[in-house]
Structure 1
Amino acid sequence: MEIMLAREFMKKIMTSEQRHYMMNMITYNISPTLKGAKPATLITLSNNNKGLYEAWLKYGKEYLETVGIEAFELVHSADTVIILFYYKEILDNHLNKNENKSFLNSLGYDLHMTLHEKLNLLRQRYVKYQCPHEIGLFLGIPLKDVLGFLRWQGRECLACGYWKVYENKERALNTFKSYDSCKAEFAKLYLEGVDLWSSVRYINLTTDKTEFL
């Protein structure tokens, strides 16, 4: 069912104009964060994909106002932008959990940094290392899996989906399913003709954002 909805969504949205395509494609991909199942989502917008970079420059501000979510640009080049979408309170509380804070501190993140300061340091490290390992924490990957990836260099994982799993395989697979369900929910609303604002409002009204608080 979820796979079929995803296919139908992709098929329909590919024929839409640039603004509509950008806004709904982003929302589809960040729906786990909108739903509260994921503290943040990282998206790359490039002109290689229906001019998404140019669309972001034109309509990005309007999109953020419509959806009501925060966005932080980690990389901004001539034709590509990599953006972290998040709700401030949820991401801040998630990163301030003791084990996450300690890990970040070992990488140079001061214990008393504000969220904005952490994001600025992440941007610096993202540019330097291309994809620093702590990005996993920002995206909601369990610390044990981040550490497992570091230890095994991406090998010998128990499962592979939205990330490589090294601990608690069952929980991770359930999380993967929840992400897919979030995307399917938005795809269904879109295919039913529900407008973007109403879809996001519905998702927010039927969400539980307590997991990362």
Structure 2
Amino acid sequence: MASIGRSGSGHSVQAAGVAFHASAVRRTGWQELSERYPQDRDCLASFLVLELAEVLQGEKPANLVCLANKRRSCGRNLYLLWKEHGQALLEESGLKVRVLADRGSSVLLLLYCPMALGSLLGQKSVQIILGKAGYQEPAEPEKVLSELEKRMAGEGFPHEIGVFLGYPLKDVVGFMGWAQISFTCQGPWKIFGNPAESLRLAETHRECRCRISQQLASGCNPHDCLKAAAAVRSKAAVAASRGVFLQVN
């Protein structure tokens, strides 16, 4: 049985002896950090570094990033900055992007590590789930991403996107109603069945954000953080395999 309570100054979710501390350690938010970067390109780099913290550190294959076409409190429009500098910044990191939707008012990006995503799609269990979801060639990254992009343009929302983001498979199929797994607790995503591994993974993701935030707050150049992604791509591939949980108890 999961319980939600307070731990120190933040909320925590506890289940099976595992605790996920939603805000046990305060991290510096991007709005505060953005003031450190007078150059537009550096400002966008700092935003991407925070939003991609788990991917850059090899703990997730991909993240979704949504940029609204409006001026932020810092005075900058990240949507326009992405159009101008985004591709060059990704080249520094070795990551790739798939534009899932660009409505003019906002853009939804899937930013991913090619090696990690390829490793994830190479998992038989992942191929079975994506095949059931209607993906004709679930082991082919480009074809799978093209199908995902096509579905994003449709009327419904492709909830199987949780697979691409490295969420535990039991939580993805539980959320989609494909397996008789009971809802256990709410973390950064809805958790089904035994929550232990899911909560550990969520805590790992939180720690990634905290580390990047602390590095930027201490003066680390965001471009250096992006470049470091190339050095952890092999680790990301291992993490993608490790993150696939199929137990349903």
Q: What percentage of residue pairs aligned between the two structures are identical?
A: 24
CA distance, structure 2, for counterparts of residue 43 and residue 130 of structure 1: 19
* Alpha-carbon distance change, 2 to 189 in structure 1, aligned in 2, over 3 angstroms: farther
**Alignment root-mean-square deviation, CA:** 2.5
Matched, 1:212 2:233: no
Q: TM-score, normalised by structure 1?
A: 0.87
The equivalent of 1:193 in structure 2 is 219
Unaligned runs of 5+ in 2: 1-22, 242-249
The one-letter code sitting in structure 1 at the alignment partner of 2:34 is: I
Q: Deviations over 1:98-143 (max 9, x none)?
A: 1110111122212365211110000111111442111010001122
CA distance, structure 2, for counterparts of residue 21 and residue 130 of structure 1: 34
- Residue 198 of structure 1: CA displacement? 2.2
| 2:33 corresponds to which of 12, 15, 26 | 12
Q: Deviations over 1:8-39 (max 9, x none)?
A: x5423256444333221111011101111111
| 1:174 corresponds to which of 194, 200, 210 | 200
How many residues matched? 210
CA distance, structure 1, for counterparts of residue 176 and residue 62 of structure 2: 21
* Alpha-carbon distance change, 106 to 26 in structure 1, aligned in 2, over 3 angstroms: same
More strand by share: 2
| 1:24 corresponds to which of 37, 42, 46 | 46
The residue correspondences of 1:28-39 to structure 2 (distance < 5 A) are 28-39=50-61
The equivalent of 2:174 in structure 1 is 148
Q: Whose Rg is larger? A: 2
Q: TM-score, normalised by structure 2?
A: 0.76
Matched, 1:48 2:48: no
The equivalent of 2:20 in structure 1 is none
The one-letter code sitting in structure 1 at the alignment partner of 2:137 is: L
* Alpha-carbon distance change, 66 to 161 in structure 1, aligned in 2, over 3 angstroms: same
Unaligned runs of 5+ in 1: none
Whether the 8 Å contact between 2:67 and 2:79 is mirrored in structure 1 is yes
The one-letter code sitting in structure 2 at the alignment partner of 1:131 is: F
More helix by share: 1
